[in-house]
Structure formats: structure tokens, C-alpha cells
């Protein structure tokens, strides 16, 4: 009898816990390894450290006869992990370094969208600080200022006034807050509308979109405070109707996939389109080359199609004709963060109440920034936990998620209390 599939997940956050959780539900999967993983993932798989960077990971995959490697963080994709695995004949879910440029370079992404007629905000690119400064002083506000390279989801400033715009340019181009990633910036016109995220499985030629989600980037209620990696999400979102989903597929996902193939960068993996739904239709705010965090924590709990099968079809170029089945219920995820995040924060605080929250019906707790010491789970990052709940509608799911949040405690814990409020979710 053939053995079950062996899967390697690269990463250690809430997104990777959600990936592991979904793969663990597949009857095809026998063994899950995760590098480096976290205490939540350790409950369903083997977490370990592997030295040697992407070469070390490839050797590990060979030694353990891994059937499929799934990459969470964009940093590994930007380093060419897919290229290294392909060179060795190993199956990996994720785009090549060349294809990942859609996320790793904002300049490439904007110029690519211009070449292929994909709707996005108008923009200018600057590598000279003084020129950028002179430009923003002449433009109507607000403006959106983006670091060209990877900045852990924090390299975007929506500048509502000139002082904020000048500070953003100083931080990126003079102070070097994001290192080389901020030496070149993209300055965009501000798009008015409603945000949404549409993710698609892409096999290089074909694609199938997932249920649309909406995340909350700002640190505090009412979309106040600095941008974070994400403070919560919900799925589905009413802004993406069936007609709008079709429009996104025809005007954005399809042209992007064809354009990448035409430019010799065939795209295999998940393509994340961060969208603004404007009065004139959907426009791309950003492309990401991996699963969103925390969108994954609300999308995968609703996915009824076998997750391993869809990943394998994607890598194998076999997506044509594939349809996904979805749980009709809604999902809400609330991120519990360390006090001070996304700025300075302290770690090492004991987390209490996890068992009680996990015991609630239709509640899943995804570990993001945690560590185990002895018999205790401690905080070990800015975003600590993602508490996801399913419900018959958004209000029901939100009520259940916030009830679970009330059971979990650690020093200086903070979280937004308005996830899903816009669409009728319960909040306090």
C-alpha cells in the first residue's frame, strides 16, 4: 500500500499554522514537517530548525522524501527557493524568483501592470530623495508612498497631509528604515473605494480564484494608527459579488497570468491581488506572491475541496476545469497582538486561556508569535495569535470570535474590536 504524502511547510507564523491545519485535514497527507514552525503547528506536525538556507531546505526535502513543499513567507521566494527546488527535481508550491518580482519589486509590478493594461493607480518612481520631496509638495493629497522592496507589510504610507508624506520619504530614503527596500519609492495617487483581497491558485496557464476576503491593516479601531501586517480579516466580503469576482478574473488575474507567461516568468503558486473596488471598477493596490496573512486564516477554514489535491494540481499544471467547494458560513479572524505593535513591544509573557478558547465550537486558534517554555505558551512576536471563528453569518462569526478573545489573556494584549463591523459583525 502506498504511503501517505509527506509535506514540508516553510515558515512559522499564523499563515503557516493555517496551511498546516488545512493540510492535516487531508486524508492524503500522512506527515507534516515545518521549518521552523511554532507551538501550534507542533500539535499537528514536526517542527524543527534546518541550517543552510534554501540549499539546506532542499537537502532536507530530498532526505525526507518530501512530496510537496509549501512556502509561506515571501522572503524565501525572493531568494529563489522555487528555482533551487526545481533544479533538484523537487515539487514546491510557490513562484520562481523571477515571477515573485510581482511582490518583491513595487516598481516592476507597476510597470508590468501598465504594460498589460491591468487597472491600478497612476504613479511615479523616484530614487532621488530631493526629487521625490519636490514631487509630493506639488501633488494633491492624500498620496500613497511605497517602498519598492519587501518591508514585511509595513512599507506603505497613506499620507493624508504633507508632513506625513515628508516623514515617510525621510524614513524610507534618508533614515533607511527598510534598508535597501526603501531606497527607491513608488508614489501613487490615492484610490477611493472599498478594499478586498482576491487570491488565486495559478499553474502557469490556468487559475482558479478563492473566496474573497477583507483584512484590516491599521493597528486600531476605525482604521486608525499605523499599518501592520494585518490585525484581522473576514471572508466572504459583500463587496466582491459574483459579477465583481468575474470582473477581477477577466481584468486582473487572467491578464496577469498571461502577461507573466509572455514575459518568460510563468507564474505557479498563489497570486494575491490586493484590490480597491472603485466607482470605475476594481484596481490593483498590490500583488503578493504568497498566501495572505491573516486572510489565509479565514479562507482555508471555509475551503471544502481537499487542500493537498488543489496544491498538487497547481504545481502539476493541472488546474484546468477545477472548481472549488466552499463552506457557506462566514469566517472572522481577530489578531491578538503584543502591546506596542507594530512599534516596539515586549515578549515572554504567559498566555492563559488557550484551552478554554480552543474548546469553543467552530473556533480555531492559529499561533503566530508564540513559543513554548516548559509547560507554558509564551508571547514571542508582535502578532501573537489569530482567533478564527465560523458562523452562519458574519455577525455570528464575529460574536463567536470575540467571545473566544475574551478567554485568552496575556500582559499588554491588544486587538481591534471592529473586525467585520463594516458588514454588520458584532463588536464592542
102-151 confidence digits (pLDDT tens): 999 999 999 999 999 999 999 999 999 999 989 999 998 999 999 988 87
What pLDDT, on a 0 to 100 scale, did the predictor assign at position 428? 42
**Cα atoms in the Cβ-side hemisphere of radius 13 Å centred on 14:** 32
Q: Residue 280 burial by CB count (10 A; 0-12/13-18/19+): exposed, middle or buried?
A: exposed
Q: What is the dihedral of CA 63, 68, 73, 79, to 10 degrees?
A: 60
**Cα Rg, the chain, nearest whole Å:** 21
Q: How far, in Å, CA of 125 to CA of 133, rounded?
A: 12
Mean pLDDT of 6-20: 98
Residue 1 has pLDDT above 70, yes or no: no
pLDDT band of residue 423 (cuts 50, 70, 90) is confident
What pLDDT, on a 0 to 100 scale, did the predictor assign at position 332? 97
What pLDDT, on a 0 to 100 scale, did the predictor assign at position 177? 84
Mean pLDDT of 244-248: 97
Strand partners, 219: none
What pLDDT, on a 0 to 100 scale, did the predictor assign at position 226? 86
Is 397 strand, coil or helix?
A: helix
Mean pLDDT of 273-282: 95
DSSP 8-state assignment for residue 385 = E
Q: Where are the beta strands (DSSP E) in 72-216?
A: 92-93, 123-126, 143-147, 156-159, 185-189, 194-203, 207-209, 214-215
Question: Could you tell me what percent of the chain has a pLDDT over 90?
Answer: 85
Compute the mean pLDDT over every residue in the chain, rounded to the nearest whole number. 94
Mean pLDDT of 412-423: 92
Q: What are the structural domains of the chain?
A: 5-93 (3.40.50.20), 128-183 (3.30.1490.20), 192-315 (3.30.470.20), 330-423 (3.90.600.10)
Span between the terminal Cα atoms of the chain, in Å: 54
Q: How far, in Å, CA of 183 to CA of 199, rounded?
A: 29
Least confident of 44-48, 216-220, 230-234: 216-220
What pLDDT, on a 0 to 100 scale, did the predictor assign at position 422? 78
Residue 411 has pLDDT above 70, yes or no: yes
Mean pLDDT of 140-163: 86
Task: Give residue-wise pLDDT tens across range 346-400.
Answer: 999 999 999 999 999 999 999 999 999 988 999 999 999 999 999 999 999 999 9
What pLDDT, on a 0 to 100 scale, did the predictor assign at position 427? 47
150 vs 198, residue with greater confidence: 198
Pairs from 368-373 (Cβ < 8 Å, separation ≥ 24):
368/13, 368/14, 368/17, 368/38, 368/293, 368/335, 369/13, 369/38, 369/338, 370/38, 370/39, 370/40, 371/38, 371/39, 372/39, 372/42
Nearest to 172 by CA among 261, 266, 106, 229: 106
Q: How far, in Å, CA of 274 to CA of 148, rounded?
A: 16
Residue 59 has pLDDT above 60, yes or no: yes
Residue 426 has pLDDT above 80, yes or no: no
Q: What is the pTM of this model?
A: 0.94
Q: Where are the beta strands (DSSP E) in 236-338?
A: 268-278, 281-288, 330-337
Cβ–Cβ under 8 Å, residues 15 and 301: no
Give the helix/strand (H/E) hosting 245. helix 242-248
Amino acid at each position: 500500500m502506498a504511503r501517505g504524502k509527506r509535506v514540508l511547510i516553510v515558515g512559522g507564523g499564523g499563515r503557516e499554522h493555517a496551511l498546516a491545519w488545512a493540510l492535516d485535514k487531508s486524508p492524503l497527507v500522512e506527515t507534516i514537517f515545518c521549518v521552523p514552525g511554532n507551538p501550534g503547528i507542533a500539535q499537528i506536525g514536526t517542527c524543527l530548525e534546518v541550517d543552510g538556507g534554501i540549499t539546506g531546505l532542499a537537502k532536507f526535502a530530498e532526505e525526507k522524501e518530501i512530496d510537496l513543499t509549501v512556502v509561506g513567507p515571501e522572503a524565501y521566494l525572493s531568494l529563489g527557493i522555487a528555482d533551487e527546488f526545481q533544479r533538484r527535481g523537487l515539487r514546491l508550491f510557490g513562484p520562481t524568483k523571477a515571477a515573485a518580482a510581482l511582490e518583491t519589486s513595487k516598481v516592476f509590478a507597476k510597470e508590468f501592470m501598465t504594460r498589460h493594461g491591468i487597472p491600478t493607480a497612476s504613479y511615479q518612481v523616484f530614487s532621488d530623495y530631493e526629487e521625490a520631496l519636490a514631487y509630493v509638495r506639488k501633488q494633491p493629497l492624500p498620496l500613497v508612498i511605497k517602498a519598492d522592496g519587501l518591508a514585511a507589510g509595513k512599507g506603505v504610507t497613506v499620507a493624508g497631509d504633507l508632513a506625513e508624506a515628508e516623514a515617510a520619504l525621510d524614513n524610507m530614503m534618508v533614515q533607511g528604515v527598510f534598508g535597501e527596500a526603501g531606497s527607491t519609492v513608488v508614489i501613487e495617487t490615492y484610490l477611493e473605494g472599498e478594499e478586498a483581497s482576491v487570491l488565486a491558485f495559478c499553474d502557469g496557464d490556468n487559475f482558479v480564484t478563492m473566496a474573497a476576503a477583507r483584512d484590516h491593516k491599521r493597528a486600531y479601531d476605525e482604521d486608525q494608527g499605523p499599518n501592520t501586517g494585518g490585525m484581522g480579516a473576514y471572508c466572504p466580503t459583500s463587496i466582491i459579488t459574483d459579477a465583481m469576482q468575474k470582473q477581477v478574473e477577466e481584468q486582473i488575474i487572467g491578464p496577469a497570468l498571461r502577461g507573466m507567461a509572455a514575459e518568460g516568468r510563468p507564474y505557479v503558486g498563489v497570486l494575491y491581488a490586493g484590490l480597491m473596488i472603485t466607482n470605475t471598477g476594481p484596481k490593483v493596490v498590490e500583488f503578493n506572491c504568497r498566501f495572505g496573512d491573516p486572510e489565509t486564516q479565514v479562507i482555508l477554514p471555509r475551503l471544502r475541496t481537499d487542500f493537498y489535491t488543489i496544491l498538487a494540481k497547481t504545481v502539476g499544471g493541472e488546474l484546468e476545469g477545477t472548481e472549488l467547494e466552499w463552506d457557506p458560513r462566514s469566517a472572522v479572524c481577530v489578531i491578538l497582538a503584543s502591546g506596542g505593535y507594530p512599534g516596539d513591544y515586549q515578549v515572554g509573557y504567559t498566555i492563559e486561556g488557550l484551552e478554554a478558547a480552543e474548546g469553543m465550537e467552530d473556533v480555531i486558534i492559529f499561533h503566530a508569535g508564540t513559543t513554548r517554555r516548559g509547560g507554558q505558551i509564551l508571547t514571542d512576536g508582535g502578532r501573537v495569535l489569530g482567533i478564527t471563528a465560523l458562523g452562519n453569518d458574519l455577525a455570528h462569526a464575529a460574536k463567536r470570535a470575540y467571545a473566544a478573545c475574551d478567554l485568552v489573556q496575556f500582559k499588554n494584549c491588544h486587538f481591534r474590536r471592529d473586525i467585520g463591523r463594516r458588514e454588520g459583525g458584532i463588536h464592542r
